[in-house]
C-alpha cells in the first residue's frame, strides 16, 4: 500500500536548515551542486545558511509522474570537476538511482539530502530524516492548498 507524507514549506525550510547545521563542521565547501529539480530549493537554503555563493546544478531525469524510468543526465555540472570540495544537495534519496548517477559524475563530492529512504540511505553522506520506502513524499511544489469539506459532509459519511 502506498503511503503519502506531505511536507509543507515551513517544514522543508526547517529541515534544510537542520541539514545546513549538520554540514557546517564538514566545510568550508567550494560550492554546491543542486540536483534538479527537487534539490534546487533545499540547495538555495543550504547555500544561504553556509554562505556559499557558487551554486551549480545537475539535471537527471528519472521519474515521469510516479513511474521510474532509466536515468538520463540532461545537464552535467560544468564547474565542479570531480566534485572535490563540493557539496551535492538533493531533496530525497529514494531508490538511489539519481544518487548513483550523480556520484558517478562527482565521485569526490559530499552527497547530502534532506530526506532518505532505506534503499538510498547508503548513498547519502548526510541527511536529516529517514522515511519508509513505501512512502511517497509530496513536496510543497507538488501540492496546492485547497478547501476540504468537514468529514461529516464528505461522500460516504
pLDDT digit of tens for each residue in the chain (157 aa)? 789 999 999 999 999 999 999 999 999 999 999 999 999 999 999 999 999 999 999 999 886 655 667 888 999 999 999 999 999 999 999 999 999 999 999 999 999 999 999 999 999 999 999 999 999 999 999 888 888 888 888 877 6
Kind plus residue range of the DSSP H or E element containing 122: none
Enter the C-alpha cell of residue 151: 468529514
Report pLDDT for 68.
66
User: In sequence order, what are the beta bridge partners of 75?
Assistant: 59
Q: Active site includes 82?
A: no
Report pLDDT for 64.
65
Find the catalytic residue in 15, 82, 91, 142.
91
Q: How far apart are CA 66 and CA 45, in angstroms?
A: 26
Entry pTM: 0.87
Find the catalytic residue in 94, 125, 134, 142.
94
Q: How far apart are CA 87 and CA 110, in angstroms?
A: 5
Domains (range + CATH), the chain: 3-153 (3.40.50.2020)
Q: Active site includes 90?
A: yes
Are the C-beta atoms of residues 122 and 96 closer than 8 Å to each other?
A: yes
Q: Active site includes 142?
A: no
Find the catalytic residue in 15, 51, 82, 90.
90
Q: How far apart are CA 146 and CA 130, in angstroms?
A: 28
Amino acid at each position: 500500500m502506498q503511503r503519502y507524507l506531505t511536507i509543507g514549506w515551513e517544514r522543508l525550510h526547517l529541515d534544510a536548515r537542520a541539514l545546513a547545521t549538520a554540514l557546517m563542521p564538514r566545510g568550508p565547501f567550494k560550492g554546491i551542486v543542486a540536483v534538479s529539480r527537487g534539490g534546487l530549493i533545499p540547495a538555495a537554503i543550504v547555500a544561504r545558511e553556509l554562505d556559499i555563493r557558487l551554486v551549480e546544478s545537475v539535471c537527471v531525469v528519472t521519474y515521469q509522474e510516479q513511474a521510474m524510468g532509466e536515468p538520463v543526465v540532461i545537464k552535467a555540472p560544468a564547474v565542479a570537476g570531480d566534485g572535490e570540495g563540493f557539496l551535492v544537495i538533493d531533496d530525497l534519496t529514494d531508490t538511489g538511482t539519481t544518487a548513483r548517477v550523480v556520484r558517478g559524475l562527482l565521485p569526490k563530492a559530499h552527497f547530502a539530502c534532506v530526506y532518505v529512504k532505506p534503499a538510498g540511505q547508503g548513498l547519502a553522506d548526510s541527511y536529516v530524516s529517514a522515511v519508509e520506502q513505501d512512502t511517497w513524499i509530496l513536496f510543497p511544489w507538488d501540492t496546492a492548498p485547497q478547501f476540504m469539506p468537514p468529514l461529516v459532509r464528505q461522500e460516504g459519511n
